[in-house]
Structure 1
Amino acid sequence: MKDQSALLPNSASVRTEPVQQRSSERITLLLDTAASLIDEKGIDGLTTSDVAARSHSSVGVVYRYFPNIQSLLRALAARNMQRFLSAVFVTIEENPGGWLSELDAILDIYADLTRSEPGFRALHFGDVIDERFIDGQTNANKELATNLVQFLTARYELPQTEEFELDLDVAIEIASALMQRAFRVDRNGDERYLAKARFVVREVLEPYRREGQ
């Protein structure tokens, strides 16, 4: 099986690469602070000065690592993706099952992070900022589909084809919209929409059931 760490997306770039532990801890603090502020004020309410004040840092320190608010949001979105994929790898390794059942578990992990991870409900993997700040060739859901294709084909005898990746991409796009709708009003997630997300994923990918089982 492939090294799972290789499937994790690269962290978003920052202006100064952390060399010492102190720098790494400072970046973690800034990202944690930004996530908490997003929960309070939303993405559009996030400012560099607020992040600096809440984290007891200077604005200059924030700019040292993140040249603008867009780079801070991208870094937080990348961390969300890393934490999600890490949880997926651990959960599936500890509770192996058929690949379609594992997709159900993946959706459950996404729902759990939406409930518990600061900033995740509003930012997710950065899909909400793709059109604002990121070039048109980049898409968070497409990156997720690519990572999951690599992971699933490494574990099971699934087709490594453009068609399978496209279908998984389609399933993720639809499921993502339904999952976000589930949490738009209900912070615990409206189970009706969560159930529909699971149903759609299975319907789209059912033709591949005989492969990999």
Structure 2
Amino acid sequence: MRTEPVQQRSSERITLLLDTAASLIDEKGIDGLTTSDVAARSRSSVGVVYRYFPNIQSLLRSLAARNLERFLAAAFVGGEKNPAGWIEELDNVLDVYAQLSRSEPGFRALHFGGVIDERFIDSQINANSELSNRVLQYLGAQYEVPLTDEFALDLDVAIEIATALMQRAFRVDRNGDERYLAKARIVVREVLEPFNSAVPAE
């Protein structure tokens, strides 16, 4: 019982630090983020920031992980099947990605951390692969999709291309360039439609 308030305070402090980092990324970009700025804006000491995040890399990775969890929660809210099918479900997933890029602090610059993988090379980490695995798990649980290696590979390919197009859409235009958003939807459908037609109708 005595540890619960401490755990709650720690959770609230981490949330505050991540929220602060996200706001600063929107203002200054990822390269402009410093632990000193996070500490000052959150009215914390630099020592407090380092207690939870030993370096900028760990702070960015934690924020990227939160972005992924918020995205998945919004994209698959309630765990309800789309009556139109899983291809249409993926259209909705792209819509959620676009909405978070417009509204979630730090999301447009950081996304799920792919930019971190490029800066801090780690062969064991790939943000899009994690996203692909989570989407595959959801589709497998909710729909009659062919859970084969070929489907998993093509889903991964579709996500790699679509996220690149989505990020390009928001690189300059904060509202998202609709031309690139439309192309992302087309790519996903073209890559995955053969699997959709192979699934028998319910």
Higher relative contact order (CA 8 A, sep 6+): 1
Aligned to 1:206: 193
Check the 8 A contact 2:162/2:184 in 1, yes or no. yes
Where do 5+ consecutive residues of structure 2 fail to align?
none
How many residues of Structure 1 are paired with residues of Structure 2 in the alignment?
196
**How has the CA–CA distance of structure 1 residues 56 and 152 changed in structure 2, closer, same or farther, with 3 Å as cutoff?**
same
Aligned to 2:47: 60
Aligned to 1:170: 157
Give the AA of the match of 2:71: F
In 2, the alpha carbon distance for the partners of 1:96 and 1:29 equals 39
Identical amino acids, percent of aligned pairs = 79
- 4+ residue segments displaced more than 6 Å: none
Aligned to 2:128: 141
1:150-180 deviation digits (Å, cap 9, x = unpaired): 1001111111111111100100111111111
The structure 1 residue matched to 2:183, chosen from 185, 188, 196, is 196
* 1:41-60 equivalence runs, <5 A: 41-60=28-47
Aligned to 1:27: 14
Bigger Rg, which one: 2
76-85 or 92-101, larger mean C-alpha shift: 92-101
Measured after TM superposition, the shift of residue 95 of structure 1 is 5.4
Measured after TM superposition, the shift of residue 96 of structure 1 is 4.5
1:155 aligns with 2:142: yes
1:40 aligns with 2:27: yes
1:86 aligns with 2:86: no
Where do 5+ consecutive residues of structure 1 fail to align?
1-17
Check the 8 A contact 2:145/2:196 in 1, yes or no. no
**How has the CA–CA distance of structure 1 residues 191 and 212 changed in structure 2, closer, same or farther, with 3 Å as cutoff?**
farther
Give the AA of the match of 1:110: Y
In 2, the alpha carbon distance for the partners of 1:125 and 1:78 equals 6
Give the AA of the match of 1:142: S
Check the 8 A contact 1:182/1:189 in 2, yes or no. yes
- TM-score normalised to the size of structure 1? 0.88
In 2, the alpha carbon distance for the partners of 1:140 and 1:104 equals 20
